[in-house]
């Protein structure tokens, strides 16, 4: 694999990633929102994450900016990136399917929102965020540039840290003991570790 092939692979897999998301977002527009905790802080976090995972890496692939941050390309590193990206895509698809009409891009609850605790949600509370972390690692492996490669880990990291506590509080306020019990039986993003 060459650096150009790695960049192209990143773009193609990213198209797959956005296709999964786009299809789901289109469908979820039909489901009414019952509670909306989206605020300017949430919007800022979403923008930071989108920059790190989308705008900056695509700018790099398109223009090679910032060239000074390039480092030597290693094919083995890129292949590891492909493995992470494929795992991320599969998990991303599974979590969208499992959440179904309960999914939102931000802190929202839908009409007749159901707490999902089975399937991929049985042992982990935030498998979709696990998919984002896997994707961010893939980006770092596939783009041999300190800035564009690591922007995803930083951008999503900021969203994750800024949102996870609020999301769990929102779920606790809504589902009470059901969510408390679910929390006691699950890990956040990595089974047995975190
Ligand atoms: N944090 C989850 C979901 C991300 S989507 C994950 O990483 O897999 C964010 C929205 O999903 C939240 O606004 C909330 O409304 C909803 N949500 C989160 N966990 C849920 C669950 N276990 N069951 C149903 N909806 C959930």
Q: Which residue has a Cα nearest atom 4 of ligand 1?
A: 128
Best mutation site among 98, 167, 189 for ligand 1 pocket (most ligand atoms within 8 Å of CB): 167
So what's the pLDDT on residue 32?
97
**For helices 146-175 and 56-63, what crossing angle results, to 10°?**
160
Q: How many CA atoms lie within 13 A of 23 on its CB side?
A: 10
User: What size, in residues, is the chain?
Assistant: 194
| Cα 101–Cα 139–Cα 14 angle in degrees, nearest 5 | 45
pLDDT in tens, 35-44: 999 999 999 9
The CB of 14 under 6 Å from ligand 1? The reply is no
Task: Say if residues 117 and 182 touch (Cβ distance below 8 Å).
Answer: yes
**Residue percentage of the chain with pLDDT more than 90:** 98
pLDDT at 153 over 90: yes
Mean pLDDT of the chain: 97
> What is d(CA 171, CA 5) in angstroms, rounded to the nearest whole number?
42
Beta bridge mates, 187: 124
pLDDT of residue 193: 86
Q: What is the mean pLDDT of residues 159-169?
A: 98
In the predicted structure, residue 192 carries a pLDDT above the cut 90? no
Q: What is the pLDDT of residue 7?
A: 98
CB 45 within 8 A of CB 163: yes
Does the pLDDT value for residue 172 go beyond 90? yes
| 41: its two tokens | 């802080």
Span 20-30, pLDDT tens digits: 999 999 999 99
Ranges of each domain in the chain:
3-185
Indicate if ligand 1 lies below 6 Å from the C-beta of 103: yes
Q: How far apart are CA 132 and CA 134, in angstroms?
A: 5
CB of 96 closer than 6 A to ligand 1?
A: no
Is 0.85 surpassed by the pTM of this model? yes
35, 38, 86, 160 from 116: Cα distances, Å: 17, 21, 24, 20
Q: Does domain 3-185 have CATH number 1.20.120.1630?
A: yes
pLDDT digits (tens, 9 = 90+) for 112-143: 999 999 999 999 999 999 999 999 999 999 99
Using a 6 Å cutoff on CB, does residue 159 contact ligand 1? no
């Amino acid at each position: 694999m060459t650096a150009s092939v790695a960049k192209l692979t990143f773009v193609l897999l990213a198209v797959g990633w956005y296709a999964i998301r786009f299809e789901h977002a289109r469908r979820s527009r039909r489901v009414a929102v019952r509670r909306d905790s989206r605020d300017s802080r949430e919007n800022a976090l979403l923008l930071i994450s989108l920059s790190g995972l989308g705008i900056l890496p695509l700018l790099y692939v398109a223009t090679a900016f910032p060239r000074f941050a390039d480092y030597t390309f290693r094919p083995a590193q890129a292949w590891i990136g492909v493995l992470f990206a494929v795992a991320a895509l599969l998990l991303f698809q599974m979590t969208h399917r499992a959440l179904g009409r309960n999914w939102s891009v931000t802190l929202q609850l839908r009409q007749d929102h159901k707490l999902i605790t089975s399937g991929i949600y049985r042992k982990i509370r935030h498998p979709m965020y696990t998919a984002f972390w896997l994707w961010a690692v893939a980006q770092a492996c596939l783009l041999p540039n300190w800035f564009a490669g690591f922007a995803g880990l930083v951008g999503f990291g900021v969203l994750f840290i800024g949102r996870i506590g609020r999301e769990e509080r929102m779920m606790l306020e809504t589902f009470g003991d059901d969510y408390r019990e679910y929390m006691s039986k699950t890990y956040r993003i990595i089974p047995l570790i975190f």
